[in-house]
Amino acid sequence: MSDNYLRLGVNIDHVATVRNARGGAYPDPLRAAKLAEEAGADGITAHLREDRRHISDADIDGLMEVLSVPLNFEMAATDEMQKIALRHKPHAVCIVPEKREERTTEGGLEVAREENKLAHFIAPLRDVGCRVSIFIAADQRQIEAAHRIGAEVIELHTGAYCDACAEGRTEEAAQELESLRAMSSFAHSLGLEVHAGHGLTYDTVQPVAAFPEVKELNIGHFLIGESIFLGLDPAIKEMRRLMDEARA
Ligand code: PXP
């Protein structure tokens, strides 16, 4: 695989959201994950939230068993989640902030304020071989702190950029994009691997995909939504095509 290749991680949380709307087992996130793999996903991302509003513990057990591509396990920095991650040892663990009342992960993690605690928290995960990623805003202070605590990867929160695009705030969108560009480059210069995600769509993906320092995008809500209209396989393939085009 060339150095320039941009990986696509497909987040399947919202297949579980639809399932949980009715209880029961349908639609099955594991089936969606296998389909995503076949459509070209380079990894599967799942967020086990403390309130289990979408992905369940059994989903994580199942994903660990059935996946041929790496699992990126998103979780809050809690003892309960750390135990689960240490038991499964997924390929990657992405530490995200979590508030019960939020609809989705609204901002990046405050690493700079909690450096010591987070350094201790991620050390055992690294010891068992998980690649630890920290989900943060495009903010130099947070990137430096993520580097100091020993994270190998940062994932930059693209939500503010995507929201500005969706709401037609073009100047802000350009500013957010510029911050993402500058901070991708800064993080890369520290030796961190750079990922990005949150809120990305066909309309917003290409400018981010074009940053050469970004190695992986994690995309969920839009792809699961678009699969209602196109089917999951074509929805993912179109995202892949746009990413490749941006990268060419
Ligand atoms: N990356 C992280 C760290 C996330 O928390 C999420 C949302 O769960 C995503 C990427 C994907 O965001 P979206 O579902 O908006 O594409």
Range 17-43 average pLDDT: 97
E runs forming strands in the chain: 7-11, 43-47, 71-75, 92-95, 131-136, 153-157, 193-197, 214-219
Rounded CA separation 179/176 (Å): 5
Provide the token pair at 63: 């994903």
Rg, C-alpha atoms of the chain: 17
CA atoms of 94 and 180, how far apart (whole Å): 18
Nearest residue by C-alpha to atom 9 in ligand 1:
198
Any idea where the domains of the chain sit in the sequence?
A: 7-247
Average pLDDT estimate for 53-78: 97
Whether this model's pTM surpasses 0.85? yes
pLDDT of residue 21: 96
Helix or strand or coil: residue 210? coil
Q: pLDDT averaged over the chain?
A: 96
Which positions ≥6 away from 172 have C-beta within 8 Å? Answer: 160, 164
Q: pLDDT band at residue 1, thresholds of 50, 70 and 90? A: low
47 is catalytic: yes
Model confidence band, residue 102 (pLDDT cutoffs 50, 70, 90):
confident
**Which residues does ligand 1 sit against, CB inside 6 Å?**
11, 13, 47, 74, 94, 96, 104-105, 135, 155, 197-200, 218-222
Substitution site in 198, 204, 224 for ligand 1 pocket (most atoms within 8 Å of beta carbon) = 198
At the top level of CATH, the class of 7-247 is: alpha beta
